[in-house]
Structure 1
Amino acid sequence: MDAEPRSARIVRACALGGAGLLMAGCASMPTHGEIRSVQGSQGVDSQVRVFGVPPADKAGPAEIVKGFLEAMTSDDPQLETARKYLTEDASNSWKPGSTVTVLKSGLGRSPVAGEKDPDEPRWKVTGEKLATVDERSAYQPETGGGKYEWVLQLVQENKQWRIANPPKSLVLSESDFQRIYMPVNKYYFAGSALVADPVYVRQRADPDSRMDPTTQTVQSLLSGPSNWLGPVVESSFPTGTELREGTKSLSYDGQNTLRVPLNEKAENVTQPQCKKMATQLLYSVKDLTGSRLDQVELLRSDGKSSLCSVNDSMAGTIAGRPKAPEYQYFVDNEKRLVRMKLDSASEDQQPKPEPVPGPLSTPVPFSVGSAAVTYDERRAAVVSEDGHGLYVVPMSGVGPMPQVPVVTSKGAKAEALTAPSWDAAGDLWVADQDPQHPGLWRVPGGVGTPEKVQVAGLNDRKITSLKASADGVRIALLLEETGGRKSLWVGRIERPDAKANAESVSVRELRPAAPQMADVTAMSWAPRGRLLVVGRESRGVVQARYMLADGSMVAASLPGATGLVAVAVAVSEEEAKPKPVVGYSKEDGIVWLPPGAQWRTVAAGGRAPVYPG
């Protein structure tokens, strides 16, 4: 088996320039882009540019195979160096496009057994599949631990060994994938809510289209949502809308405006529809640059006249984003639901808990175990400490406490109702852990008749925690696997009025949201469709990390999270006043992590922290 670390190959390729074999542009210093963690084994800056080495004259089959696999990781236009390892026919027909097979580590390669130096040798390429990136640039984690295998057929062409059957996709190690690609969100509408659809684009110009990252993102947006999200969202762009022919680069002008020329399919849209189109586009590209994006203008197919424009403030109104919360909520040591005003939090001022208004401010006939608050902060859903009843209570007025729960459970305390969750549409979600009657329940509007929700692919796993996304089309489920291990999955919520034409609300296509974690303790949705996950990697310690909801990568980690057993994040995207991350530690109670600061205890006796949602 011949497998060489990718870091050695990259360093060697760049070092060739210093040895007199000049490779123009082998590496360049990045001038923009977000800071992202990379694997220590990668051994190079994630922004290093890599160009392949063409095949040497009279190179043997082993050298051809090795050189081709390395050239697939290069930044060459049209992957021209990789194509030099192929036969003429294979080079002309090879179209890996945007599809990628991602492996956990480098590829192994070896001659096919029993075929030592035949006239047309075959080499087997193998690896452990981590994920695939499909034709719509969407990342799909491998759930079955599948093995990758491809047999390369080598033939003599003009007395040189060449490959006749290259893989149908690019094949990259995880470290190479993170070096070459970057995650972006493109946005679509579900009703009035804007939904993040994560995809991957090349960090530099795409080898095939020669488009820069911004233009790649816009093109991906226009091509439509990912296959996973497609059944529950829609695009405001008319079918067939594309960038004006020949557009390879989009840039900002001196007024921080991005102008995007479209083809004739977008010529006759109404102004409201056009502004929704521009809103989708603005949110899709605003995180791609270090400079501020204040406005997007859509242009007609002549590339000059304007269709419409939206600024950041207007787009925020059209997008229907949840407003910034006024309070953070938790259950205090007297087992009451209380709140703390966020504006009162500062480094030198301790926020003070106060009872929530309404019936919950007076003595109630049960102790509160967990709670959820609507996004408008007008109602609370509370679960009794024994887990047997879920009550919906107004947080205003002086009326009596509701006597009848909206959902009940007969399970024991540890096997009864989970903490509830609201979505932005006002629907209430809760799971029953009773082994005799397990299930996921939805209460329409928080007042309707509870509906049991079918969860496809749940099998015999138990839902121990849940959190509906603010956009109402995804739900994060913490599932207890065989042996007690807990893993995090995200499902798509399909409603009767969704494009899927479902007869009742259901959760479909569960996919792993934190496959890197061996065991997950807690989770919360975060801005831009991310998840904050508390858990541990295999043979690792407990930590809190922001994860992309497609399960693709770790975005960032939080300090000192070892003792956390619960966590909450405000999903508001108000950048001017970011809210603290809130956690629950058995040793310290309710703790806050303000932006740029360290954890601090704000309520020693509290537990079950939540933000609205």
Structure 2
Amino acid sequence: MTREVVASEVVTSGAVTSGAAVSTRSRSRLRRLAGATAAVLLLTGVAACAGVPATSPVQVVRQVGAGDSVAPPPAPVAGANSLDIVRGFVTASASSADRHGAARRFLTQEAGQDWNDGAALTVLEGQIDTVPVITGAQAPGTATVRIRGTKVGRLVPQTGAFEADVGQYSSDLQLVQRDGQWRISRLPAGVVVGLDEFRSNYKAVPVWFVDPARRRVVSDLRYLPVVPSRTQPARVVDMLLAGPSAALSGAAASLLAGAELRANVATGADGAVVVDLTRITPPDDAARRLIAAQIVLSLAEVNVMRVRILIDGEPLLAGRSEWTREDVAGLVGEARPAPGSPAIVVSGGRVGTLSGPVPAAPIPGPAGNGGVAAVSAAVSADGRRLAVVARAGNGNQLMVGRMTDGVLNTVEVTAGILTRPTWTPDADEVWTVADGRRIVRVPTAPDGPAEPATVDAGALTAMGSVTDLRLSRDGVRVLAVVDGGLYVGAVARGLDGRVAITEVRKLRPQSLEPVVSADWRSTELVVAITRNPDLLVAQVGVDGLALSEVISTNLTAPLTALAAGPDRPFLVTDQTGVWTRELGAQDAWRQQLSGAAGAVPGYPG
């Protein structure tokens, strides 16, 4: 029987350290220390060098990558040992240029021909170990090296979408020594890279599709190589033609389904990018404008300012030769709070506003004057409608009405506990969760709320009890806290009116739990508060790749409530009241409302 031993030799900071392997507990402490040092990362990164839990500078997701200025990975060093070769291979694998040409330099000629680099790209976070594996049958001039680390997910090559998959990663590579130089002779299909190297070599790009009602466009986050930048427009169009990612199955569609490129994406003599399509016949001008929005907004993320869209050589819309972002901005589905609409707060059973000279000034009507015992509340994005969860006997009831005068109608939704309400972008529905298991949506109309309906949410409630639920501001996703875990799901709407939550995915289970509350900062970023003392307030990418700590200086744990919104300061309730912090601020939080330990703040939407 062949004996296999993983030697207690771990490469750290580019050197080999003999002795006992670094323990899991020690690595955990190092990772926490690194996270504390890099407190405001939007995309927490670690060096791809094995065994280095690194810190990184502040970086916004949209700024990942720097075009063709990214330095090429170093080539193999003459005389390098087998561990160095594997470590260099992992670092070089982040560059996809020339079919991962930089990484292939670490392979034998035969392995370079056989390696399937087109399989999924696995991203590792934290310390990456390269460890020699000793077997009884090891032939002279050969070696086996194991790559170990913690995976956070994988990039799907065909779509460029990131799929979260947290867990331990382990893979063995075979090496041979030829002419005194070690090279990798056998390796598994696919690519494995560290998070820092990934974010240096890939750019986050929202690709745009349409909502189920075909009224607006919604974003779907993708990643594409930053080098060479000249190929980015063509890659983005390929992603568009491939359709929405699996994460938005049933929640987004494409009016480009079945379309093909009639010619390569190219830049015309006047500087406009030309996209010439075929095998597509839009039914009307409204559909043509949505097609323009899909293409123009997606290409704008790779610095394409003007687009000439053709179908079989003719302009997409008669009389319009070019399109810009401004031409289609009105079709974006993300609902932003109406200008001047204030944040609200529920405190002491009353609903008030959090802006103006009087803290928690009561809103009009029974919700503000104490006529109903408010537990939580939400204002629609347009600032016109109000939903209130109020105490009723030994339980809760939902009430819906107008924000202007505070008149409320009782809805036939009661339970022992109802979560804080949340609105769809057009304010045509308000949602809440009854007793942690039944998600209810209440259609609304000018003359009042309609009959409540139950959302098919078995995929979400199967995870446990739902204690917080927020609809995204484009209406195609939900964010939920379920038994202390943070989940996202797609809102799938059928032609028969049925609504279901599908494609449920858990975000960062090892880093965030237990989560108390969460909210959407944008359609791409969510904010969560936790009972994890090392990460009280965190920002997380909607796909689970981005993770950063928000400084929690001078907050008094435990935190109980949270509100976030586009271009709005964070609002957090701790044991002394409601605190606020401007986006990007490096200083401490500022108290907005004191003496309100149980307050529940909220932004419109």
TM-score for the superposition, normalised by structure 2: 0.76
Quick one: which of 536, 541, 547 aligns to 2:540? 547
Which residue does the alignment assign to 1:535? 530
1:4 aligns with 2:11: yes
User: How far apart are residue 173 of structure 1 and its match?
Assistant: 2.0
Question: Any residues of structure 2 matched to 1:71-150 within 5 Å, and which?
Answer: 71-74=92-95, 77-97=98-118, 99-104=120-125, 105-117=127-139, 122-135=144-157, 136-143=159-166, 145=167, 147-150=168-171
Task: Read off the aligned partner of 2:555 and give its amino acid letter.
Answer: T
Task: Read off the aligned partner of 2:536 and give its amino acid letter.
Answer: V
Q: Structure 1 residues 294 and 62, CA, compared in 2 at 3 Å: closer, same or farther?
A: closer
Quick one: which of 486, 489, 496 aligns to 2:487? 489
1:230 aligns with 2:238: no
Which moves more between the two structures, 463-472 or 306-315?
306-315
1:394 aligns with 2:394: no
Give the Cα–Cα distance (whole angstroms) in 2 for the partners of residues 149 and 7 of structure 1: 20
Work out the number of aligned pairs and report it.
539
Residues 37-66 of structure 1 deviation map (CA, whole Å, 9 limit, x = unaligned) = 644844788866242314748x87666545
1:187 aligns with 2:208: yes
Residues 260-287 of structure 1 deviation map (CA, whole Å, 9 limit, x = unaligned) = 4334446978654333223223333445
Identity of paired residues, percent?
A: 23
User: How far apart are residue 457 of structure 1 and its match?
Assistant: 5.2
8 A Cα contact 1:271 1:308, kept in partner: no
1:217 aligns with 2:219: no
Give the Cα–Cα distance (whole angstroms) in 1 for the partners of residues 280 and 156 of structure 2: 27
Which residue does the alignment assign to 1:609? 601
SS at match of 1:328: coil
Q: Structure 1 residues 242 and 94, CA, compared in 2 at 3 Å: closer, same or farther?
A: farther
SS at match of 2:514: strand
Question: Any residues of structure 2 matched to 1:468-479 within 5 Å, and which?
Answer: 468-479=471-482
Which residue does the alignment assign to 1:317? 330
Q: Structure 1 residues 245 and 153, CA, compared in 2 at 3 Å: closer, same or farther?
A: same
Task: Read off the aligned partner of 1:588 and give its amino acid letter.
Answer: G
Task: Read off the aligned partner of 2:344 and give its amino acid letter.
Answer: F
Q: Structure 1 residues 211 and 225, CA, compared in 2 at 3 Å: closer, same or farther?
A: farther
Question: Any residues of structure 2 matched to 1:360-379 within 5 Å, and which?
Answer: 360=367, 364=371, 366-379=372-385
Which residue does the alignment assign to 2:441? 442
User: How far apart are residue 610 of structure 1 and its match?
Assistant: 1.1
Give the Cα–Cα distance (whole angstroms) in 2 for the partners of residues 477 and 44 of structure 1: 29
Which residue does the alignment assign to 1:31? none
Which residue does the alignment assign to 2:36? none
Q: Structure 1 residues 35 and 510, CA, compared in 2 at 3 Å: closer, same or farther?
A: closer
8 A Cα contact 1:278 1:297, kept in partner: no
Give the Cα–Cα distance (whole angstroms) in 2 for the partners of residues 313 and 62 of structure 1: 52
Quick one: which of 510, 515, 529 aligns to 2:504? 510
Q: Structure 1 residues 336 and 455, CA, compared in 2 at 3 Å: closer, same or farther?
A: same
SS at match of 1:314: helix
8 A Cα contact 2:209 2:254, kept in partner: yes
8 A Cα contact 1:328 1:609, kept in partner: no
Which residue does the alignment assign to 2:421? 420
Question: Any residues of structure 2 matched to 1:309-348 within 5 Å, and which?
Answer: 309-325=322-338, 326-340=340-354
User: How far apart are residue 79 of structure 1 and its match?
Assistant: 2.2
Which moves more between the two structures, 116-125 or 468-477?
116-125
Quick one: which of 567, 571, 590 aligns to 1:600? 590
SS at match of 1:4: strand
TM-score for the superposition, normalised by structure 1: 0.75
SS at match of 1:168: coil
Which moves more between the two structures, 43-52 or 271-280?
43-52
8 A Cα contact 1:369 1:387, kept in partner: no
Give the Cα–Cα distance (whole angstroms) in 2 for the partners of residues 428 and 179 of structure 1: 41
Give the Cα–Cα distance (whole angstroms) in 1 for the partners of residues 119 and 191 of structure 2: 8
SS at match of 2:502: strand
Identify unmatched segments of 5+ residues in structure 1. 10-33, 345-349, 481-485, 572-577
Which moves more between the two structures, 453-462 or 262-271?
262-271
Which moves more between the two structures, 149-158 or 88-97?
149-158
Which residue does the alignment assign to 2:225? 202
Task: Read off the aligned partner of 1:611 and give its amino acid letter.
Answer: Y
Instruction: Compare relative contact order (CA 8 Å, sep 6+) and give the higher one, 1 or 2.
Output: 2
Q: Structure 1 residues 60 and 321, CA, compared in 2 at 3 Å: closer, same or farther?
A: closer
Which residue does the alignment assign to 1:580? 569
8 A Cα contact 2:143 2:174, kept in partner: yes
User: How far apart are residue 476 of structure 1 and its match?
Assistant: 0.7
Give the Cα–Cα distance (whole angstroms) in 2 for the partners of residues 589 and 361 of structure 1: 18
Question: Any residues of structure 2 matched to 1:155-304 within 5 Å, and which?
Answer: 163-190=184-211, 191=213, 192-205=215-228, 211-213=230-232, 215-242=234-261, 244-245=263-264, 247=266, 259-265=273-279, 271-288=285-302, 295-298=306-309
User: How far apart are residue 338 of structure 1 and its match?
Assistant: 2.3
Quick one: which of 542, 559, 578 aligns to 1:589? 578
